């Protein structure tokens, strides 16, 4: 029996690939496998929450940027931009698929000290060398472009309005999933409760579902989002990924800002952007940024009232008179080691693959990561972008991947 495209039990006892987690990242892997002419294996996606109600995918603000401090992260976002801006063609030209484009309002970083300003300058050189259109703005240029900001404490800004802004992540996810299913990828509603390894512990032999079904497999992909560590632990692996709460608020302003407001990363740690003609979206995190329960999506009214709204009004005086109209909490799959992805095979359990720990970058990195994992499964190596720097080995060696542009 199928509900919403999901089977209530697996159709076969064995699959070439079992993907644990069917939200954005898992569906990207599934679609890229289905799109690879050199892969003709069977794929099972196991998703514990077919409604996706509590997934990171459902709570994302769906933005993309190229302003990173490492060339690899810039290239990952550039591939995402190519995918988004050519999405219908990329999926075969199906007229039912929307013709998507990035809404290029850009990200605007504001530096209130010379140390951070120097960081923006260094990052811009890396970004320009990688082909971005990042510009640095001094206070006079910022005031001319964005007269509604209070800039007394700002020494430099950085903005890129090419392939940076909002995109319809939900549409991409939906069509990856729908097309993967149409091509034979099977989605089953359930939870993996056990992972069985061979006697030499060099490969996974099977996974057990909460229904009791035992599924043998060629590869297992951990695409469990904030639950990644729980899934890895089933295979006896410890990964430094935990759920961290992130808040979003939507408000109306009594005096709307003229023009398009970029996604602004203020020194206060609060980030905000335009979200319509007279509505705005703001994001923030709790001051005590710690792991939370998987099912904790409660709001913090005091955080809004005492910290976020005052920070908004201090930066944009017109935001002193606003009306809150919506709010929600979601979870980052937060890599506490270095806040970057953990991707690729385990060095010993070679058929157990990670696609975890994106720390807020997952949606925009999902095209490149899905492609990379599909390449590894199909060829035993990456063929497009070399994702080895994100490998699990760096954690074992205590070698952090340093990215200086984490939000």
Residue-level pLDDT at 216: 98
Average pLDDT over residues 22-43: 98
pLDDT of residue 72 exceeding 50: yes
Residue-level pLDDT at 404: 80
pLDDT of residue 2 exceeding 60: no
Q: Which helix (H) or strand (E) holds 27?
A: helix 24-35
Taking Cα atoms as reference points, which of 107, 150, 155, 109 lies closest to residue 313?
Answer: 150
Residue-level pLDDT at 5: 85
CB environment 41-57: b (16+ within 10 A), e (fewer): ebbbbbbbebebebbbb
Where are the domains positioned within the chain?
2-60+169-239+337-396, 103-162+242-334
Task: Give dist(CA 42, CA 62) in Å, integer.
Answer: 30
Residue-level pLDDT at 104: 97
Q: How confident is the model at residue 201 (pLDDT cuts 50, 70, 90)?
A: confident
Coil/strand/helix, residue 272: strand
Task: Give dist(CA 264, CA 275) in Å, integer.
Answer: 12
Under 8 Å CB-to-CB from 118, ≥6 apart: which residues? none
Q: 103-162+242-334, what's its fold? A: D-Amino Acid Oxidase; Chain A, domain 2 (3.30.9)
Q: How confident is the model at residue 199 (pLDDT cuts 50, 70, 90)?
A: confident
pLDDT of residue 4 exceeding 80: no
Long-range own/partner contacts, residues 49-52 (CB < 8 A, 24 or more apart)? 50/3, 50/4, 50/6, 50/22, 50/187, 50/189, 52/23
Long-range own/partner contacts, residues 291-295 (CB < 8 A, 24 or more apart)? 291/242, 291/243, 291/244, 291/334, 292/243, 292/244, 292/245, 292/331, 293/243, 294/54, 294/226, 294/227, 294/230, 294/243, 294/331, 295/54
Average pLDDT over residues 38-58: 96
pLDDT in tens, 271-308: 999 998 889 999 999 999 999 999 999 999 999 999 99
CATH architecture of 2-60+169-239+337-396: 3-Layer(bba) Sandwich (3.50)
Quote the mean pLDDT of the chain: 96
Q: How confident is the model at residue 1 (pLDDT cuts 50, 70, 90)?
A: very low
Taking Cα atoms as reference points, which of 135, 168, 182 lies closest to residue 57?
Answer: 168
Global confidence as pTM = 0.96
CB environment 274-305: b (16+ within 10 A), e (fewer): bbeeebbbbbbbbeeeebbeeeebeebeebbe
Are 2-60+169-239+337-396 and 103-162+242-334 equal in CATH topology? no
Count of Cβ atoms closer than 10 Å to residue 12 Cβ: 10
């Amino acid at each position: 029996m199928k509900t919403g495209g999901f089977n209530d039990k697996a159709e076969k006892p064995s699959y070439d690939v079992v993907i644990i987690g069917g939200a954005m990242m898992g569906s990207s892997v599934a679609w890229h496998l289905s799109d690879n002419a050199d892969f003709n294996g069977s794929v099972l996606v196991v998703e514990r929450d077919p409604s996706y109600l509590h997934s990171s995918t459902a709570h994302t603000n769906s933005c993309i940027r190229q302003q990173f401090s490492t060339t690899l992260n810039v290239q990952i976002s550039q591939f995402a931009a190519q995918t988004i801006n050519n999405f219908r063609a990329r999926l075969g030209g199906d007229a039912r698929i929307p013709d998507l484009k990035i809404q290029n309002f850009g990200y605007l970083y504001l530096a209130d000290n010379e140390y951070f300003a120097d960081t923006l300058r260094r990052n811009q050189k890396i970004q320009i060398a990688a082909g971005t259109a990042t510009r640095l703005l001094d206070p006079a240029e910022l005031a001319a472009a964005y007269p509604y900001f209070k800039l007394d404490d700002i020494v430099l800004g950085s903005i890129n309005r090419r392939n940076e802004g909002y995109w319809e992540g939900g549409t991409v996810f939906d069509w990856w999933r729908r097309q993967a299913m149409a091509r034979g990828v099977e989605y089953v509603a359930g939870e993996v409760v056990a992972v069985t390894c061979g006697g030499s512990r060099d490969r996974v032999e099977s996974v057990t579902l909460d229904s009791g079904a035992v599924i043998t497999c060629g590869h297992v992909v951990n695409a469990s989002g904030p639950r990644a560590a729980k899934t890895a632990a089933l295979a006896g692996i410890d990964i430094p990924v935990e759920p961290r709460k992130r808040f979003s608020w939507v408000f109306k302003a009594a005096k709307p800002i003229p023009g398009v407001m970029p996604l602004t990363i203020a020194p206060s740690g609060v980030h905000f952007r335009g979200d319509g003609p007279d509505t705005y979206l703001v994001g923030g995190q709790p001051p005590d940024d710690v792991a939370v329960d998987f099912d904790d999506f409660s709001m913090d009214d005091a955080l809004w009232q005492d910290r976020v709204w005052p920070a908004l009004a201090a930066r944009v005086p017109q935001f002193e008179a606003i009306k809150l109209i919506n709010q929600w909490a979601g979870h980052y799959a937060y890599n506490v080691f270095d806040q970057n992805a953990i991707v690729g095979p385990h060095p010993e359990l070679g058929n157990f693959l990670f696609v975890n720990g994106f720390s807020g970058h997952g949606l925009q990195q999902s095209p490149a990561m899905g492609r990379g994992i599909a390449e590894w499964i199909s060829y035993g190596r990456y063929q497009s972008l070399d994702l080895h720097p994100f490998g699990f080995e760096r954690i074992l060696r205590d070698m952090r991947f340093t990215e200086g542009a984490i939000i």
